[in-house]
Chains A and B, each alone.
Chain A
């Protein structure tokens, strides 16, 4: 089953990727692309030499993005639980989240540098801010999605608030949570990248900046493609976890048959 699942999840995007690469290669050969866009083969050609460098930078970026993402997820979960327990706080909390989401990160990141400095803490902070909004909305919506009869059921069996949260609200929210987690993962990576542009010695954002300054176009594109691949990978991993964890929210035959 896992094999079929992987086929279903990986084969279509792989085919699309292949088509784009072949198209770009042909377009480059026909002279249709500007000098700032290399042929995929040129990017691939530098991979062996650049691999160590790439892993060195990617490692830092992934760590910052994952940390920021985890912080945002934890914060969103706690705030949504508070909004669930105290209904009157739901609106202020959502409003605050909208406000945070409206912050133009590119403009405000340099200001953060003054408070936090240019280190990984800045990257983690910006990653967390980028990922926070969809996570919070997902949690709030999810907690609200409990069935009314089930609410009554938990009332009749005299469940405590904590039991309601753990045994009813949280499992009911899982499909929404996973949707939010999928959307937020690439955002956390993007946030990290923005923060890294503000100046750092290590990270994919820094790598792109260095490559552009030295006009190493294939290297810049290698870093960009790596960011895309990491985003897609994060999305895919969460989607896989989703199928494992909330398989109950789909009819069983769909689950067995893949997509």
Chain B
């Protein structure tokens, strides 16, 4: 069971002249094996929230538990996979060596065969390619394979497909859902795209800015496995509209 539980978490940053509250009073439970999307205006602290869970930043107040442990313990026992906004591949390593990096660092027998992971993200045959020889979408797939190398219990993704074109993005979304389903990890996805959030997630958390708070929780009741055709269904559009309303309204109208 790898639930992520946040209790009254806040994060303040000290700037030279003032203090900024990036996140305030975040209380949320991410169920084990669930898929949650975080969406909100820029500067609402989505990425910060992800970094708090990953133990990259410490919370100012409140408590975070990952599977009943401190995030630092989860991180050190390699339970966290993180996908960055840009792929952040090491340019001097081949695709295979990039995917193998976490295994190398952890020093344990590969939880997953890196070659099988590369095949899973559809890059078979590119094992020896360098990142600079790959397109943006391919690089991001390598980054996802790398994040999965140690079978993380928690998969955190910071706008992983933000730089991709719509077609590649939808294809990657589908692939990611397959990967998530097969791995059973608890996934948290930060995104700017309403349709991506609705398409992927069980729950969409809409954050408001200044300070960052969870303004709305929207449960997506669309059946799984999700298929691209669903995006044309009235039910899908209705949920999209709910999220849109939550994003742009002043919060007076609470969607169903």
Note whether A and B form a binding pair: yes
Instruction: Report the separation of the CA atoms of residues A153 and B104 in the bound assembly, to the nearest whole angstrom.
Output: 14
A158-B132 in contact (CB<8A): no
B92-A158 in contact (CB<8A): no
Instruction: Report the separation of the CA atoms of residues A150 and B86 in the bound assembly, to the nearest whole angstrom.
Output: 10
A237 beta carbon closer than 8 Å to chain B: no
A156-B130 in contact (CB<8A): no
B102 nearest in chain A by CB position = A157
A55 beta carbon closer than 8 Å to chain B: no
Instruction: Report the separation of the CA atoms of residues A154 and B104 in the bound assembly, to the nearest whole angstrom.
Output: 12
B residues contacting the other copy or chain, number (CB 8 A): 25
Instruction: Report the separation of the CA atoms of residues A154 and B102 in the bound assembly, to the nearest whole angstrom.
Output: 9
B84 beta carbon closer than 8 Å to chain A: yes
B88-A147 in contact (CB<8A): yes
A159 beta carbon closer than 8 Å to chain B: yes
Partner of A167, one of B54, B101, B130: B101
B84-A163 in contact (CB<8A): no
B54 nearest in chain A by CB position = A156
Minimum distance in angstroms from A162 CB to a CB of chain B: 11
A252 beta carbon closer than 8 Å to chain B: yes
B84 nearest in chain A by CB position = A149
B130-A252 in contact (CB<8A): yes
Minimum distance in angstroms from B109 CB to a CB of chain A: 16
Minimum distance in angstroms from B47 CB to a CB of chain A: 11
Residue of A147, A160, A168, A174 with most partner-chain B CB within 10 A: A147
Q: Which of B139-185 contact A (CB under 8 A)?
A: 150
A249 beta carbon closer than 8 Å to chain B: yes
B232 beta carbon closer than 8 Å to chain A: no
B122 beta carbon closer than 8 Å to chain A: no
Interface set of A (CB-CB < 8 Å, partner B): 147, 149-150, 152-160, 163, 167-168, 171, 174, 246, 248-249, 251-252
10 of the cross-chain contacts (CB-CB < 8 Å) are A149-B86, A149-B88, A153-B82, A156-B82, A158-B75, A158-B76, A158-B78, A160-B105, A174-B92, A252-B130
